Structure 1
Amino acid sequence: MRIRLYKRDDLDDIMKLYYNAVHNINAQDYSDDELDVMAPQTADRYHWEASLAKNHTIVAEGDEGLLGFGNIGSTGFLDCLYVDVDHLHEGVAEAMLKHLENYAKAKGNHIINVYSPITAQAFFEKHGYALIEEAISEHKGVRILKYLMEKKF
C-alpha cells in the first residue's frame, strides 16, 4: 500500500468507493433513507471536485487500485476517511489517519475535529478521539445522527 496526494483523475474512483462504503459499511447503523441522503446514487460531481481540491486529500492505493481516501482542512477538520469495503481491517484507515494527523500538526493545529458516523465512532475512540456531542443534521427531511469528536495534541 502507498499513500499519495489526490489527483483529479481519482475522482470517479473516489465517488464510487464512497458510495459503496456508505451503503455497505454504514448499513448496520443507518436506514436506507439515511444512507441514500448520505451517499446518493447520483453524486454532485462539482461538490466532490471542490471539496477534494480545497482540502489536503490523500488516497491509499494497492496493486488492485484505490483502497481508500481521506482529507483534512488546514484548520484541522477531518472531512473524509473511507476505505474500500474489501479492504477493511487491513490498516488502511489507520495509515491514512496518521498521515492526515501529521499534516494537521505541521499546519500548527493542536486539535482535530471530525463528525463521525455511528459506524466509525469506535475506530476514532481507539485512535484517541473523544466524543464531544451528538450531532443531528437534516437533509431532504431525513435526520442523520453523527458524533462530533476531537483529538488534542
Structure 2
Amino acid sequence: MNIRLYQKSDSLPLAELFFNTIRTVNRQHYSDEQVKTWAPDLSTWDMQAWEKKFENKWVFVAQEGEELAGFGELEPNGHIDRFYIAESAVGKGVGRLIYKAIEEKAKEQKITRLFVEASITARPFFQKMGFELVKEQVVERNGVKFTNFVMKKYF
C-alpha cells in the first residue's frame, strides 16, 4: 500500500470512492435520505467544485496497484476534512496509514492540535487514533439533519 499526495488525475476516482463509501459503509449508520443528501447522484456532481476542495490542504491518497483505497485531508489549521476508505479496504489498516501520514505532516508543520467532525461510522476509528470527544452535534445539509461528533487530539 502506497500513501502519496493527491494528484489532479485522482479527482474522479476519489469522487467515486467518496460516493461508494457513503452509499455502502456509512449506510449502516445513516438513513436513505441522509445518504442520498450526503452523496447525491454522481452524474449531477459539480466536479469543478469538488476539485477546488482539494486546494490549499494536504491530501493523502492510499493506492494499491491501480486502485485507490482511501484518502484523508489535512488543512493548515489542523482540521481533518474528508477522510474516506473504500468499502473493500475497511478494516485492513488503510485508515491508519493515511492517518499516520496526516499526523506526521501536522507535526512537520508544527500543528499541535488536530480536529475533525467525525461521522457516526468514523467516530470509533478516531477514538482509536487518540481523539477525544468534544461534543455530539446535529448539522443540516439541504434540509436533512445529520449527527456527527466534534473530536480533537493534541500532541
TM-score, scaled relative to structure 1: 0.96
Deviation for aligned residue 1:49: 0.7
Alpha-carbon shift at residue 54 of structure 1 (Å): 2.0
Contact 1:133 1:148 in 2 (8 A): yes
TM-score by length of 2: 0.95
Q: Please tell me whether residue 86 in structure 1 is matched to residue 79 in structure 2.
A: no
Partner of 1:71: 73
3-state SS, counterpart of residue 34 of structure 1: helix
The alpha carbon displacement at 1:92 in A equals 0.5
**Match of residue 96, structure 1, among 78, 85, 98:** 98
Q: More deviation in 18-27 or 101-110?
A: 101-110
In structure 2, list runs of 5 or more residues that go unmatched: none
Q: Structure 1: give runs of 5+ residues left out of the alignment.
A: none
* Match of residue 145 from structure 1: 147
Assess if the C-alpha contact under 8 Å between 1:75 and 1:104 holds in 2.
no
How big is the shift at 1:123?
0.8
Q: Distance in 2 between matches of 1:109 and 1:10?
A: 26
Give the C-alpha shift of residue 64 in structure 1: 4.3
1:11-90 paired onto structure 2 within 5 Å: 11-41=11-41, 42-90=44-92
Structure 1 position 16, deviation (Å): 0.2
Which amino acid in structure 2 is aligned with residue 50 of structure 1?
A: K
Q: State the AA in 2 paired with 1:113.
A: F
Identity in percent:
33
Corresponding residue SS for 2:130: coil
- Specify the SS of the correspondent of 1:53: coil
**Alignment correspondent of 2:117:** 115
Higher deviation after alignment, 36-45 or 128-137 = 36-45
Contact 1:138-1:144 at 8 Å conserved across structures = yes
SS in 2 for 1:94: helix
Task: Give, in whole Å, the separation in 2 of the partners of 1:46 and 1:72.
Answer: 20
Q: CA RMSD in A?
A: 1.0
